[in-house]
Structures are given as structure tokens and as C-alpha cells.
A and B are shown apart, each in its own frame.
Chain A
Amino acid sequence: MNSGIDLQGTFIQSLSDLGISAELAKVLWMPFPMLLMIIGATVGVLVNVWLERKISAAVQQRIGPEFAGPLGVLQPVADGLKLVFKEDITPANADPYLFTIGPILVVMPVFISYLIVPFGQNLVITNVNTGVFLWIAFSSVVPIGLLMSGYASNNKYSLIGGLRAAAQSISYEIPLALSVLAIVLMSNSLSTIDIVEQQSGYGILSWNVWRQPVGFVIFWISALAECERLPFDLPEAEEELVAGYQTEYSGMKFALFYIASYVNLVLSALLVAILYLGGWSSPIPIEVLSNLIGVDPATSWVQVVDASLGIGMTVLKAYFLVFLAIITRWTVPRVRIDQLLNLGWKFLLPIALANLLITAALKLAFPTAFGG
């Protein structure tokens, strides 16, 4: 397994050659991946919003945004600008501090979770060895923000929306964590890099979907529920709760909720791609391809192609899942709150537990196929 391109190493090396101490060079390097990630996540959201509007339109035999830029690609930018310039209203009887902190608390953990999303062998901000666990931990902070904004709005719809959101994320976190645990059992590591590496041996055949089909479905359902996507969008069910915890928000604070929900969707899709669909590895391994055309996989241009292919693959897989989520949105009607909790506690949780136990048993029985 070659290590691929090491941008950080090269950067530090070149700065050290200029006479700057290695430590300072590392400090100088740090902001780049972070900025890149924030920009990447934001652009991901813009693409996502555009896709959502276009695909929704196509499903309903409409055209969708058309005049803002070619095919309406600038529409999300226009939306964002509109939200920035809107008046920022704080209701008279709302709690101004909590009202402001709430949306920030919702956005922050989601963006921080991008720390652990790898786009290639070395294309990750930090390869922390708690990896996916860190993501689960951070996503559990979000309901506090929702509760806070629901409470601070001083509006019964907001409060009910916030409470529902918190109940929903708490109940779906458990099956989510259990299905991640099954993956971790197989790859012996919480690190996302190791998880992808472990499924990159035989191209598409070694992806975790084939070994964890049940886990895949559970993870996807729970991820949709965590993102409050349509079959599970009760916290903001228009017909009952106006807009749930966002009812009283406007302008930039509302935009924060909006961004958070879409960033969360992209993040969940990326994580499904990483955990179950082989992350950055392409369906046919790049080594096989390069050997096929008779090039040494260690040549520099193959490495560049490999790296860009890795990014492309990750993004492609993630957006395929986003597409699935959008189609699901227009197919499945919203569930009721009791059905939602029933599904979480009485269906997904036992199945996720059984899946975990079976995975452990299979790992003991066939160590070669299930986590070597």
C-alpha cells in the first residue's frame, strides 16, 4: 500500500528549506486544510441546495431555478445573499442570548465533524484515532442547540419542535452508533482512514455494504433521522408546528439552521460513503488499472490521478446518496411522532444489536472475511 501524496510533508519540507523552523511551518500549514474544509463544506451545501431544488422540480415535472446562472446554479448563492441582507428579528419576549447562541451551537459541531472526513490517504484534516466516535460525540451536541433555540424563542411551536428534535436525535443516535460499532469491529479501528483502507483491497467487492447490508440500511435510516430529512422531519413539520424550532428565526440566524441541516446531510452521505461504500477507493482498484496499462503505480502522475480520483469518488458516492435522500423525500410521507419513536426503539435498535452480535460471531468464525 503506497502512502499517496503527502501535501503536508511537502509543504513543511519546502518551508524548512527556506529556513523556517519545522514547528512554525507546521503552524503555518494548519489553517490551509481547515479553510479548505470550511469552503468545501459550504460549496457542498450550495451544490446540495441546487440539486435539491432541481431534482425536486424534476420529480414534480417542473423546471426549477432557471434564470440565475446557467441552469440556475447561482440560485443558492442568491438565496444566501437574500438571507444575509434580511432583517434579523429577535422576538420581544425571547431570551436574546440563548436565541443567538442556539443556532451557533447547531452549526459548530456539524462543521467540526468534517475534521474526520477523509478524501484520500492523506487528504484529511486530522487522522484522530477516535475517528467516527468523535463524529457521533459531536453530533450529539446538536440537540442542545435545538433545545436552546426552541426554548429561547418563547413560542410553543418552537418548544415542541426543539423537544421533538432532541428526542429524535437521542433515539436514533443509538442504532447509528451500534451500526458504526459493527463496522469498527470489522476494521479494528475507529479511524476513518483505517476503515476505508480495510475495504480497499478488491475494489467494489471489498466494500462494507456486502458484509454489512443490514448495518448499511440502519445507518442510512438513522442518518436521515438525525438530519431531520423528510420521512423524519417532524421537528419542523409545517402542517403541525409551522417550522418547529426555526419558527421565530429570520435572516442570518435562520440561514445558520439552513446551512447546518444541509451540511449535516452532506456529512452523513460522506460518512455512509466512507463507512460502507469504500470511501475514496474506486470500484476497480487503481493499482489494477495502472498495472493493466503497464505503468508503475508509484509514478508521480498516477499518484496525482489517484488522489483526484479519490476526491472525485468520495464526492460522487456522497452525492449519489444525497440524490437518494432527495428522491426519498418526495416518495415517503412523513411519519407520526409515535411511529418515529417506535421505529427507532422497537425496530432499529433490536436489529442493530442483533447485527452487532452476528458481526462479532462472524468475525470469530471467519476472521479472514470479517476483519482480519
Chain B
Amino acid sequence: MQIAEGVQLVTFGILSVLMLGAALGVVLFANIVYSAFLLGGVFISMAGIYILLNADFVSAAQILVYVGAVNVLILFAIMLVNKREDFKPLKNNWIRQGTTALVCAGLFTLLSTVSLVTPWAISTTTIPLASSIVPLAKHFFTDFLLPFELASILLLMSMVGAIILARRDFLPDSVGTSTPDSLTLPERPRELVGK
């Protein structure tokens, strides 16, 4: 298992460097579009690390959900709101930056202590998993049922919120609702249920 292990090690190194670099880029770039694209890079490198951990389904899901949906939507939002605005340099900006740095450092120490204190059960033998899908599904529908359902309720809530936002009518009813026929598209009017 010489070659395979070497490949694994090198891949892990490349992926971690990529991920850390991209993550730093997300935070440090002034251009928000670059940050958003680099976020995609972070997600993809994470998917690569999942593959190294034999979690192929999770990595594909990571790409599909985070890169394909979340990141694209973030980019969408950024590009649709393409407002060129010159931000004035704030007074006492260092207070905000200092606070942010403090909070981040605190979080970092917290997480690193957690990861150092936890007695990880690292198995040295590689377990060739036939398919990670079945055990995943089993966990979802037995001991992780509650978080799973909670997550779906969360998604439902955000969906309802989005629909309510999208359906809001900005048009005032009183002012000239009747457009002349010549300006309307020749389309059959569709009636909605309950209207």
C-alpha cells in the first residue's frame, strides 16, 4: 500500500493548502465577488477531503448542495444587487476589526481545544465500504431522525419566507390600473384559484 498511501498524503496536503488559502481569500479579499467564488473553492476542497475519508456520497452531496446551489445563489444575489457604492472609511474602524479578530480567535481556540481534548477513535485499518449511502440513510431515519426533520422544517420555513417576500405587491392599486390594450401582450388571461 505504498503508492496509494503516498498519493493520499500528497492529495491531503494539496487539498488542505487549497482550502486554507481559499478560506483566507474569502475573508481577506475586498472584492465581494472574488470572495464568493473562492467560497466555491473552499467547498470543493472540502468535498475532496470527504472523498479521502471514503465518504463519496457526502462529498457528491457537498458539491451538489454547497457549490451547485448555495454558492450559485450567493453569486446570484451579489450580481443582481450590482450597486456600485463607495464606502466611506469608518471612524474607529479598528474597534470593529479588533472585536472581530477577538471573536474569531476565541472560536478558533475553542474549536481547537475541543478537537485536541476529544479522544478520537482513529482506526488504522482501512475499511473498504461497499456503499456509504445505506448506513447514512439508516442513521437518518433512526438515531438522527430529530435533527433531520428539524433541518427540513428549517428549510420549509425559509421557503415560506421566500414565497411571502416574492409575492409582495409593490404596485399601488389606485393609480391607473387599466393599461391601454395596445400596450399589453396578446395573451390569454389566466385566472388564479380563489381570486
**Is chain B found bound to chain A in the same assembly?**
yes
B61 at the interface (CB under 8 A from A): yes
Q: How far is the CB of B182 from chain A (nearest CB, A)?
A: 20
Q: Which 6 A-B pairs have the closest CB atoms?
A: A140-B68, A137-B64, A137-B63, A137-B60, A129-B131, A130-B60
Q: How far is the CA of A30 from the CA of B60 in the complex (A)?
A: 22
Whether A147 contacts B79 in the complex (CB less than 8 A), given A27-B3, A129-B133, A140-B69, comes out as yes
CB under 8 Å from chain B, chain A span 145-188:
147-148, 150-151, 159, 162-163, 166-167, 170, 173
Q: Does A138 contact B (CB under 8 A)?
A: yes
- B71 close to chain A: CB less than 8 A: yes
CB of A243 within 8 A of chain B?
Answer: no
A70 to B61, CA, bound (A): 47
Query: Distance (Å) between the CB of B121 and the closest chain A CB?
Result: 25
Q: Given the complex, which residues of B lie within 8 Å of A173, measured CB to CB?
A: 68
Across the interface, which residues of A come within 8 angstroms of B40, CB to CB? 144
A361 contacts B by Cβ under 8 Å: no
- The verdict on A111 contacting chain B, using a C-beta distance below 8 Å, is no
What are 19 A-B contacts defined by CB distance under 8 Å? A24-B3, A27-B3, A98-B33, A133-B60, A134-B60, A137-B61, A140-B69, A141-B44, A144-B67, A144-B68, A147-B75, A147-B76, A151-B75, A162-B79, A163-B80, A166-B75, A167-B76, A170-B68, A173-B68
Q: A137-B63, A137-B64, A140-B67 are in contact. Are A147 and B57 (CB under 8 A)?
A: no
* B30 contacts chain A at the CB level, 8 A cutoff: no
Which A residues are CB-close (under 8 A) to B72?
140, 143-144, 147, 166, 170
Query: Does A123 interact with chain B (Cβ within 8 Å)?
Result: no
Question: CA of A140 to CA of B61 in the docked complex: distance in angstroms?
Answer: 11
- How many A-B Cβ pairs are below 8 Å? 75
Most buried by B among A24, A143, A167: A143
Does A136 lie within 8 Å of B56, measured CB to CB? no
Interface residues on A, range: 20 to 34
Q: Kindly identify, within residues 33 to 48 of chain B, every residue whose CB is under 8 Å from any CB belonging to chain A.
A: 33-34, 37, 40, 44
B67's nearest neighbour on chain A, judged by CB, is: A141
| A239 contacts the other chain (CB 8 A) | no
Q: In this assembly, does B2 line the interface, its C-beta being within 8 Å of a C-beta of chain A?
A: yes
Alpha-carbon separation in the docked complex, A134 to B68 (Å) = 12
Whose C-beta in chain B lies nearest to the C-beta of A26? B3
Q: Is the CB of B69 within 8 A of A129?
A: no
Min CB distance A241 to B, Å, is 15
- Determine chain B's interface SS by DSSP, over half rule: helix
Select which of A24, A128, A137, A144 is within 8 A of B75 by beta carbon: A144
B63 contacts which chain A residues (CB < 8 A)? 137-138, 140-141
Bound form: Cα–Cα A137–B82 in Å: 28
A159 touches B57 (CB 8 A): no
- Contact pattern, B 62-88, Cβ under 8 Å of A = 1, otherwise 0: 011001110111011001101000000
Determine whether the beta carbon of A130 is less than 8 Å from that of B56: yes
> Which residue from A129, A138, A163, A167 sits with its C-beta under 8 Å from B56?
A129
A23–B2 Cα distance when bound, in Å, is 9
Contact residues in A for B3 (Cβ distance below 8 Å) = 23-24, 27
Q: How far is the CA of A151 from the CA of B72 in the complex (A)?
A: 13
User: Is B4 in the interface zone, CB < 8 Å from A?
Assistant: yes
Asked whether, in the complex, the Cβ of B56 is within 8 Å of the Cβ of A170, the reply is no
CB distance from A178 to the nearest CB of B (A): 13
Q: Please tell me if the beta carbons of B60 and A98 are within 8 angstroms of each other in the complex.
A: no
**Once the chains are docked, how many angstroms separate the CA of A147 from the CA of B37?**
10
A23 and B133 contact, CB distance less than 8 A: no
Instruction: Known A98-B37, A129-B133; judge A144-B56 contact (CB<8 A).
Output: no
Contacts of A136 in B (CB 8 A): 64
Residues of B within 8 A of A98 (CB): 33-34, 37
Distance in angstroms from B122 CB to nearest chain A CB is 24
B1-40 CB contacts (< 8 Å) to partner A? 1-4, 33-34, 37, 40
In the bound complex, residues from chain B placing their C-beta under 8 Å from that of A128 are 56
Distance in angstroms from B14 CB to nearest chain A CB is 16
Which chain B residues (119-133) contact chain A, with CB distance < 8 Å? Answer: 130-131, 133
Q: Which of chain A's residues have a CB closer than 8 A to the CB of B57?
A: 130, 133
Given A23-B4, A140-B67, A148-B37, 12 extra CB contacts under 8 A: A23-B3, A133-B61, A136-B64, A140-B64, A140-B68, A141-B44, A141-B63, A143-B72, A144-B67, A163-B79, A163-B80, A190-B133
CA distance A35 to B21 in the complex (A): 31
Closest residue of chain A to B75, judged by CB? A147
* A-chain residues with CB within 8 Å of residue B56 when the two chains form the complex: 128-130, 134
